[in-house]
Every structure is written in C-alpha cells, then in structure tokens.
Amino acid sequence: MGLRRDVPVVPNGIDYEGIKKVNARERFNAIFVGRLIKEKNVDLLLQSVKILKTEIPI
C-alpha cells in the first residue's frame, strides 16, 4: 500500500556541525529534546547534572 501524495519532510533543527565544533574542555552543555512528561525522567537528568557539577567542577 502506497501513499496518495508526497509526504513533506521537516528537518529536526539540530545543528550537528555546530555541536561538533564545541570543544568539550571549554564548556559543558546538557541538551534535552522531548516532551516534559514523567516517563522522560528529566528530573533524573537534572539531578545527574547537579552531581556532576560537584564532582567535576568546571
């Protein structure tokens, strides 16, 4: 079964080339892309960043 018409493709909007250029030793970034729902465990991400900041100061 095929489609009746073309399906438009929308780019995801992430600048991979820009991300690759960032020197990890210069700065720290955490990126979350998704809906803010319980199942995504964003709170765990934030708690992890807090722990990392205390253990590995920048």
Domains of the chain by residue range = 16-55
Residue 17: helix, strand or coil by DSSP?
A: helix
Residues 6+ apart with CB under 8 A from 29: 22
Residue at 56: amino acid letter: I
Provide the pLDDT for residue 34.
86
Provide the pLDDT for residue 16.
81
Q: What percent of the chain has pLDDT over 90?
A: 22
Q: Taking residues 24-53, what's their average pLDDT?
A: 84
User: Comparing C-alpha atoms, which of 35, 33, 34, 29 is closest to residue 52?
Assistant: 29
Please determine, for residue 28, whether its predicted confidence score (pLDDT) is greater than 70: no
